Amino acid sequence: MTRDQVKKNVVRSTVSGYVRILARMVLGLVTFRLLYQGLSAEQFGFWSLLWAIFGYGILLDFGFGYAAQKKVAELSVKQQWDELSRVLSSIVGFYFLAAAVAVLLGIVFSGTLIDLFKVSPENRESFRYIMMVFLAGIGLAFPLGVFPEILQGQQRLVLANNLALVTNVTNFFCVGMVVWFKWSFLTLVVLALTCVVVPYFAAAWLALKHMPGVRLSPSLFSKQALLHTGKFSVYAYLNMLGNVLRNKADQPVISSILGVAAITPYQAGGKIGEMFGQLTKQIADVLSPTAAHLHAKGDHAGLREMLVGGMRFSILAATPLYLLCVFYMEGLIRLLTGEKSPTNEMFWVGQLLLLWYYSLVLTHWVFKRMFLMAGQEKRMMKQGVAEALVNLALSIGLTIWMRSIVGVALGSLIPTVLFGWGVLWGWAAKEAQLSRMALFRQVVVPAWKGCLPMILLALGFHFQPWWPSGGNAFLVLAEGSIVGLVGLVGIWRWGLTPPDREKVTQKFGGRFRRSVAPAKA
């Protein structure tokens, strides 16, 4: 791929990612509310905890998922199909073995885990059986999870996004049927697992079809290939371990200190930030395999250009959405959960976790995802693990001290801000060959400059005396739409440069003209 082709692929992949995430957000809002109201507090907390455990399943990855993505991107450039066959066969074989061991251990110690999560006696045995079924399902899904990573390494993120979109729609209908027909909690879990496993099979078929020179076979399993790949993957794994501890420790900490039912109000507040995070990390996800491709070609100038541009456009996209969520947090929680009066804990968990995710957009996601794939994996690992350990220690300490779910949210936010601005920002500026302030002016200032009109309008809505701003669903949607539209206009006028606006106009104007040309004919 030329640099122009890489840029076009980044744009296409980013747009498809936003389409998928927007659909996921809309469906996720409805799904969350259905489950929040359709399950008991303990069932909903346990449901959330199971998927947190699924997130911890990535620890068995040992960094080989990132390694597979990186190797596919690099070896495809060189067309070294035999070596790629050995690498992928070794990784997939290792995954099957790791999954079998993990599932067996999980089933053996399922009773201990249920007791650790403080499940009530009347639900202990049924939840234990559901946990064993869930572990078996993710054990099957885990080895197949490498194939979406391979699609990314092939620069086919659009296809991966389309598969994920089909998964989200199918999962929504499955949840709807469970709630409508009042099927059992176990049925809900089985259907949700099915919606994970089937798309992975599809990804496997599509990924291998695109690489006819690659074949997977147990006979190609190679310890040498695994160890050679492991030189990168061990750093990627430790970095990923840090991310998991940073991002997934909240629910186990809450359940072990405050009880599994306390996860429900935490999820009610934190879901806004979680959905914000899913939407705003799309550019970082797209740039990860792109960075590996540019690094393999030795295109350091292209890598720097992609870093600054990726950070800038990621922040431009995230800032107006962040401000909308800040101003209408209470109304969004009401829409999400059906609660008439969200508690103070829900509100502040929502605000703190939203700020946490926005901090990740500013300082972490684009830079870390790119340079993990561009030869900086060892240094990334050290920073990630240090931040995660501080996060875990603060989350536990503050939750015990405050006896509140707010403690976990604070424990996540504080280290991210300190490490982000104290370590990562200067590092990113150095890689971009800019000063800290010059980088800030290029990637942060344009977004906040463009958002000034929407901030003033939102403040006007909140302090006007004629109606309670965001007081009901209609006002949240009506005010939010107007404020959001003003934000988009501001970003277009003051956030983008004239060359940026010209490129967007030419790109989408050209597509529009091509789409209407046959109709005129």
For residue 521, the model assigns a pLDDT of 39
What distance in Å separates the CA atoms of residue 242 and residue 255, rounded to the nearest whole number? 21
81 part of a folded domain: yes
pLDDT recorded at residue 272? 85
pLDDT at residue number 520: 45
Contact 233, 62 (CB under 8 A): yes
| pLDDT per position as a tens digit, 3-56 | 565 556 666 766 776 677 777 777 877 888 888 888 888 888 888 878 776 666
Q: How many CB atoms lie within 10 A of CB 102?
A: 17
Sign of CA dihedral 169, 174, 179, 180: positive
Domain that holds residue 224: 3-443
List of residues 6+ apart from 269 with CB closer than 8 A: 333, 342, 345, 346, 347, 348, 349, 350, 353, 405, 409
Please state the domain count of the chain.
1
Q: How many of the other CB atoms lie within 10 Å of CB of 487?
A: 24
Range of weakest confidence among 256-265, 274-283, 431-440, 507-516: 507-516
Question: Would you say residue 463 lies in a domain?
Answer: no
Please give the DSSP secondary-structure letter assigned to residue 421: I
> Domain for residue 414, yes or no?
yes
Structural domain includes residue 211:
yes
CA 502/CA 2 separation, integer angstroms:
22
pLDDT for 121:
87
Q: Pick the range with the lowest mean pLDDT from 226-230, 359-363, 510-514.
A: 510-514
In angstroms, the CA 314 to CA 4 distance is 20
Note whether 291 and 373 are within 8 A (CB): yes
pTM above 0.95, yes or no: no
d(CA 370, CA 287): 6
Looking at residue 60, its pLDDT comes to 61
Whether 513 is covered by a domain: the verdict is no
Residue 44: which of 290, 339, 311 has the closest Cα? 339
Give residue-wise pLDDT tens across range 317-362. 899 999 999 999 988 888 877 777 888 888 899 999 999 999 999 9
pLDDT in tens, 170-180: 888 988 898 88
Rg of the chain (C-alpha set): 23
Share of the chain above pLDDT 90, in %: 17
What percent of the chain clears pLDDT 70, i.e. is strictly above it? 83
Q: Does residue 451 belong to any structural domain of this protein?
A: no
Q: Confirm whether 500 is domain-assigned.
A: no
Task: Determine the average pLDDT of the residues in 376-396.
Answer: 82
